[in-house]
């Protein structure tokens, strides 16, 4: 995710630095931070640049969006000016707080030039939209403000966008630092009581089976609803730590092993009629746990190996491609990866049935 975000920032920065049309922004004493709010491109050509000023959750105080208009057709901006103003006029909960007034004709100064514009007002924000020609480029400009009045507005051509690029980087860095301070501890940072032996695996299996049965009862509408077990995440983490210690595995490998273990037991509970026999079920669970955690060869070894073959395609990483990169997998590769699942599951069921039949 971080790599993708960094790549997107690089694409945006490079596009802005190659802008071929003038960009309009605020003049004079402006709200801070001032930053690059976004860009739009078409056919790999920059068509829109948005500058933002100040910030008050959940959005900036002022936005100035400059779009390049082509002679034969307008460039699309996503939201229309009215939709954008309605978005800015929402309260912090995302609800509209008032009706947008009809547009009023006004004039706005761009440096020494007076330009006709259309002004709309909501209860919390107002917008100004106009077109002008600079350096043979026809521009469509939208200003939306939640702070300054129309009379206080001063606009000018922005000759360097580098401060806005730097401002966006600084603002994003500050947000990341704030998020780091407010973040919840990761599971590996939790303080958990020590658990010896296979107790953590056994407790996790017991809990997940109980949850599976509870959901089955809910589907049949035969049981009142109750909140899910809130200790579940801690039980998963305790089992993962135990797996790391018992099998001498990395966290990633231990996580996969625990997921493989739990899903095999749940699948047995859901599909194997013999699993209703409590003695057989307990024996099967014990062998599954010992095979996963102690890497011990068990009587159900064939079933354990077949389940590993069945489960492998579900755990193989499939990263999303970054901008400009081809898909991480072709349709043929996906079909190949999952194509043998039905056969593997049949082999797995058969291996468990042989295990059952071998019991006295």
Least confident among 78-87, 123-132, 133-142, 290-299:
78-87
Cβ atoms of residues 100 and 52 within 8 Å:
no
pLDDT of residue 146: 85
The full DSSP string for 297-309 is --TTHHHHHHHHH
pLDDT of residue 3: 65
pLDDT (average), residues 125-135: 90
Please report which helix (H) or strand (E) contains residue 115, including its range: strand 113-121
pLDDT of residue 180: 76
Angle formed at CA 204 by CA 189 and CA 278, multiple of 5 degrees: 170
Over residues 21-71, the pLDDT tens digits come to 999 999 988 888 899 998 888 877 888 999 999 887 667 889 999 998 875
Q: How far apart are CA 37 and CA 54, in angstroms?
A: 11
What residues form DSSP beta bridges with 182? none
Q: How far apart are CA 314 and CA 326, in angstroms?
A: 22
Neighbours of 98 (CB within 10 A): 14
Over residues 297-356, the pLDDT tens digits come to 999 999 999 999 999 887 755 555 544 556 656 666 655 556 678 888 999 999 999 999
Which of 281 and 224 is assigned the larger pLDDT? Answer: 281
Of the ranges 191-200, 292-301, 335-344, the best mean pLDDT one: 292-301
Which two tokens mark 280? 């057989």
Whether residue 73 has pLDDT greater than 90: no
Angle formed at CA 109 by CA 108 and CA 110, multiple of 5 degrees: 120
| pTM for this predicted structure | 0.52
Over residues 237-291, the pLDDT tens digits come to 999 999 999 999 999 999 999 999 999 999 999 999 999 999 999 999 999 999 9
Q: How far apart are CA 35 and CA 53, in angstroms?
A: 7
pLDDT of residue 19: 86
Burial of 87 (0-12, 13-18, 19+ CB in 10 A): middle
């Amino acid at each position: 995710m971080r790599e993708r975000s960094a790549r997107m920032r690089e694409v945006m920065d490079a596009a802005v630095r190659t802008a071929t049309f003038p960009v309009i922004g605020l003049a004079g004493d402006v709200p801070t931070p001032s930053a690059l709010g976004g860009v739009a491109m078409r056919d790999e050509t920059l068509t829109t640049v948005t500058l933002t000023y100040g910030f008050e959750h959940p959005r900036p105080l002022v936005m100035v969006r400059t779009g390049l208009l082509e002679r034969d057709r307008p460039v699309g901006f996503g939201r229309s000016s009215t939709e954008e103003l309605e978005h800015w006029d929402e309260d912090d909960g995302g609800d509209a707080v008032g009706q947008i007034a009809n547009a009023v004709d006004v004039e706005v100064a761009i440096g020494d030039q007076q330009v006709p514009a259309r002004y709309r007002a909501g209860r919390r924000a107002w917008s100004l939209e106009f077109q002008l020609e600079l350096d043979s480029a026809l521009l469509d400009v939208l200003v939306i403000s939640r702070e300054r009045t129309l009379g206080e507005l001063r606009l000018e051509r922005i000759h360097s966008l580098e401060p806005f690029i730097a401002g966006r980087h600084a603002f994003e860095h500050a947000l990341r630092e704030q998020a780091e301070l407010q973040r919840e501890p990761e599971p590996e940072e939790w303080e958990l009581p020590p658990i010896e032996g296979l107790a953590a695996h056994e407790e996790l299996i017991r809990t997940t089976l109980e949850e599976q049965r509870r959901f089955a009862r809910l589907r049949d509408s035969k049981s009142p609803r109750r909140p899910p077990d809130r200790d579940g995440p801690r039980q998963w983490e305790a089992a993962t730590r135990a797996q790391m210690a018992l099998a001498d595995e990395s966290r990633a490998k231990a996580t996969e092993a625990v997921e493989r273990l739990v899903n095999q037991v749940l699948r047995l509970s859901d599909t194997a009629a013999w699993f209703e026999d409590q003695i057989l079920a307990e024996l099967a669970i014990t062998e599954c746990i010992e095979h996963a955690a102690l890497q011990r060869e068990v009587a159900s070894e064939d079933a354990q190996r077949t389940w590993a073959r069945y489960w492998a395609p579900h755990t193989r990483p499939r990263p999303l491609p970054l901008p400009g990169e081809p898909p991480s997998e072709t349709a043929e590769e996906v079909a190949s990866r999952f194509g043998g699942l039905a056969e593997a599951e049949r082999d797995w069921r058969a291996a468990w049935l042989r295990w059952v039949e071998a019991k006295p």
